[in-house]
Chains A and B, each alone.
Chain A
Amino acid sequence: MSTVVSAAQLSARRRLSNRRETVAALLFISPWILGFLIFTVWPVIYSGYLSFTDYDVINDPNFVGLENYVTMFEDPRIALSLTNTLIYTILSVPAHIIVALVLAMLLLRAARASGFFRTVFFLPKMTPAVAVGVLFLLLFNGQDGLINKVLRAIGLPAPYWTTDPFWVKPGLVLISLWAMGSSIVILLAALKNVPVELYESARIDGANLWQQTTRITVPMISSTIFFLVIINTIAGFQMFTEAYTAFFGSGNTTYSNDAALFFVIYLFQQGFEFLNMGYASAMAWLLFLVITIFTVVQFVVSRRLVYYEGDQR
């Protein structure tokens, strides 16, 4: 009775246990696989198909070839909504990151009180976006809004944020800055990981605060800044709730809202208000293309600018 197991037996046993492990793993993962097939794969394929059709939910899709894509080029509201979205994103992403970084740096120096202030800065993030939209209408109201009363009191120009097409997007950027608590928290966590020794030696070398910030802080946390640039850009392109609440919907008869027509809002209108589901699907693919291009460009640019500790990538 030899207790020695032959190599063949061993590998057979291992193969069996491998197969068992694979089956068990796939069982655990099966909810996601199922959801992925039903709510991602099929929708992506069907959305691609719909983008070549004319479809209003009631009648069957009618194949129209490239018509939707051609129409998009001629539709002035596509250009308008895309421009609005670009302006909003280009304004909001840098504003967001600069303000969040300044606040996070202040928090880092606040020693014991930093926990309290972090809570306060994070709190607005909890406000439902609908309520943010309402607050925008009320606080930024041109005549009676709190913001303009303060601006007038200190002798600054008080633009009509909610009605003047030029000021609508800067106003929306400002209110979005209010709810940026998560960026502050993420940046603060990154700042805490910067080795204190770097600042000490820089100080000995006579570096001032500005030099320390631009030469040490920003490079050391550049991967976090890059992460925030990416997610904020994607979020900016998909801006919907705040602007839709404040400027669109069945009751809106008073405001001219072209300045707040963001791409996803127009897509939503085409798909669910005008029931042009084929056209809306084509729009979704255009949005996907634009976001992909931006993300790829950001990744390419980041290769030169972002520092990863230990160069992990």
Chain B
Amino acid sequence: MTSTLDPTDAAARAAAPLAAVETAEAPRVIPPRRRTTRSRIARVVLYVVLAGCAVVFTYPFVWLVSASFKPRSDVFDNLLIPKNFTFENYLTIWQEAPIGVWLVNSAIVTILAAVTVTASSAMVAWGFAYFRFRGRGALFALVIGTMMLPGAVTMIPTFLIWNGLGATGTLTPLWAQNLFGSAFYIFLLRQFFLGLPRELFEAARIDGANNWRIFTRVALPLCRPALAVTLLFELQASWTDLMRPLIYLRDSDTFTVPRGLKSLLDQFGFGGEYHWEIIVTASVITTVPMIILFFIGQKQFVDGIATTGTKG
């Protein structure tokens, strides 16, 4: 009976918890009242308000990008189109700071962090989702419980661990903890695994697959949407992190982009020089990869976040 199960169909059903948010859209809209003049005015007002909000939400980006193409004296002129358009800032920043090195460092940390946390969290989540054993509930409650512990409590001893291993000043402490999974992603992925039909795995078992094979060949491929969400969330979290680079990195050559931006702000912003055009340009360079990431994985971001909220 299990052989009749089409794996693509199973994948589609498994994806349901994530997809539900999207597909439910059309019929869920509140039906409009009778088309009176009043309701038509209300619609116009609604769109005007939304458009106004959209301007407020996008303007800071536009302002930032625009300012990065302005000479120093024009940064605060608040004009949408630069009066004196210049690429100068991007050239200057390349000379003033090892921004290429920072980008490479950030890329290394971000990719390692995201790949390791996705792999390890998926493994752990599968352990909780598929197997039945005594104490499973309690152990899983412990996983969830760790999310309540503020990072500040473990911050100092964790620093001492890496310091003891001689890893401070290197990029390792910024990602290596991700080898051990992360509670939030374990929760997210377990939720997804639980939505997969069990018969599929029993069928694979009858066909002689061992536990590892069932996990890597059957469960993981079906879990792709949730793995993508995990990967994207961690890419963002890791790229934007400032606190860990502040704790662990000392030399400019080891900085990540956000840490580098902070050092430029300290040097050019507060240091009495007020070269805001450099800081604006560095901010654009820090932000643009995240905007690109968002447009690649827009659906995953939005659906992933909607799912965490409704499961909470």
Contacts and interface: CB of A to CB of B under 8 A. Distances in A.
A and B associate in one complex = yes
Interface of A: 18, 21-22, 24-29, 31-32, 34-36, 38-40, 42-44, 46-47, 50, 57, 103, 106-111, 113-115, 117-124, 126-131, 133-135, 137-139, 141, 144-146, 149, 178, 182, 185-190, 192-193, 196, 199-200, 203, 224, 227-228, 231, 234, 237-238, 240-241, 244-245, 249-255, 264, 267-268, 271-272, 277, 280-281, 283-285, 287-288, 291-292, 295
B38 interface: no
Given A31-B180, A44-B153, 16 more contacts: A24-B127, A28-B215, A35-B177, A39-B177, A43-B156, A47-B153, A108-B29, A109-B30, A113-B47, A133-B265, A187-B309, A189-B21, A234-B150, A251-B269, A288-B153, A295-B148
Interface string B43-81: 000110110011011111101100100000001101000
A123 B127 CA distance: 35
A285 B149 CA distance: 10
Interface of B: 21, 24-25, 28-31, 33, 46-47, 49-50, 53-54, 56-61, 63-64, 67, 75-76, 78, 120, 123-124, 126-128, 130-134, 136, 139, 142-143, 146, 148-161, 163, 177, 179-181, 186, 211, 215, 236, 239-240, 242-243, 246-247, 257-258, 261-262, 265-267, 269-272, 276, 279-280, 283, 286-287, 290-291, 293-294, 298, 301-302, 305-310, 312
Contacts of B179: 31, 35
Contacts of A185: 302, 305-306, 309
Given A28-B126, A35-B177, A254-B270, A126 B290 contact: yes
Nearest to A175: B60
State the main secondary structure of chain B at its contact with A: helix
A35 B181 contact: yes
A160 to B, nearest CB: 15
Given A128-B258, A135-B283, A291-B150, A28 B161 contact: no
Interface centre among A38, A47, A138, A287 (most CB of B within 10 A): A138
A134 B151 CA distance: 24
Contacts of B290: 126-128
A267 B261 contact: no
B131 to A, nearest CB: 3
A253 B267 CA distance: 11
